[in-house]
Each structure stands twice: as C-alpha cells, then as structure tokens.
Structure 1
Amino acid sequence: MFQLAYALIHGLIQAIQFLTVPICFVSAWVLVLMLFWSMWAAVREGVANAKQMHQVPCANCRFFTGNYHLKCPVHPKKALSDAAIGCSDYEPASYWATNRE
C-alpha cells in the first residue's frame, strides 16, 4: 500500500519537476514586486498625510497657546487636527504683534 502511494507521489513529482524552477522564479519576483509596491504605497500615503497636516494653521494662530493641556481656548477639540483646516476663527499671530490698537 505504501509502495503504491510512494510510486504515485514519486511519479507525480517527476512529472512536474520541470515546472518547479519557473514557478519558484516567478513567485519570488512577484513577492519582491509586491514588497516594493507596498513600500511605494506607504511612502505615497505618508507624503499625502504630511502635506495635509502642513495645512493645519494652528501653530501660527493668535489663539494657539503651545500648552499641551489647552492648545486652543477657542476650539480645544479641533486644535492641531484635520478639523482645524479652514478654521473660521484663525488669526495670524504676526498680525496681532504688528497691528495692536
């Protein structure tokens, strides 16, 4: 019984042995390409996130305190987040430093 199973498996391996090298070659290159593709996608996503976070105006705002307990007294939940982009209460700190009344 085991000799029959061994003979069948050995015959099957001998029949497909010429395909193993090309299959391994192609699968190795597919894995390498998938690795580079995922790294490229991660870099693109990181750059896109960095560009979006650089649009947050809080650090240059008059109301920004720099204190981690209360970053902004006007909008404390929005401060330094994506929600602060286009804030209606944004006033540049340099404007108030030069134009005091």
Structure 2
Amino acid sequence: MPPLIIFSTIICVFGISIGQMLFKKAALVLPTSPTWHDWIFNGWLVAAVLLYGATTLAWVWILRNAPLHLAYPFMGLAFLIVPLLAWTLLGEPLHWRTLAGGALILSGVVLASTS
C-alpha cells in the first residue's frame, strides 16, 4: 500500500481507539437510570459518535484506494491501542497477557500487510 494510505489507515485505527475511550467516558457519566435527555446531552457520547462518523468516512476513502485484505488487518491494532489508552487515560489495569496478545496481533498485521 502507498505510504499515504498506510498513514491514513493508522490514523483511522487511532480514531476508532479514541472513540472507544469516549464511549467509555460516556458510559461512566450516565446515571443509573438514564433518561433520553441523559443520552442526547452526553457530550462524551456526542463526541464519540461524531468521531466514529468521521472515521467511517475516512475508512470508506481508504477502501476506495486499498484492497480490503491489506487495509483491514490494521484494525487489529485497536486491540493493542485501546488497552494502552485505557491504562494511560482511565487508569485501567494492563496485564502482560494483553501486551503479549497485542504483540501477536502486531506481528499478524505486519505479516498480512506485506506482499
């Protein structure tokens, strides 16, 4: 894949990963019995949906310019990025198994994205 497509794909994966952090923050601020008002005016949720929308448009552009079998393995990187972001930003635990699995996924992405 051309460098611009690889860069765009990685940015897309980071966008999806950050979106997951925003969804988590949205969930944390919801009251126990949320009303429609709590959902609609949840700024974290609105930000997450907007980011996911923009990322989806970027993903469609990427797929217009790259074969799915080369672009899609990059989405696996989210399985490493999301736990790292959750550990860094939310103070969630990070286990060695997560890092080992992430290393395997990273190896798979490299293997699948080379010709």
TM-score by length of 2: 0.29
TM-score by length of 1: 0.32
Q: Which has the higher contact order (CA 8 A, sep 6+)?
A: 2
* Larger proportion of helix: 2
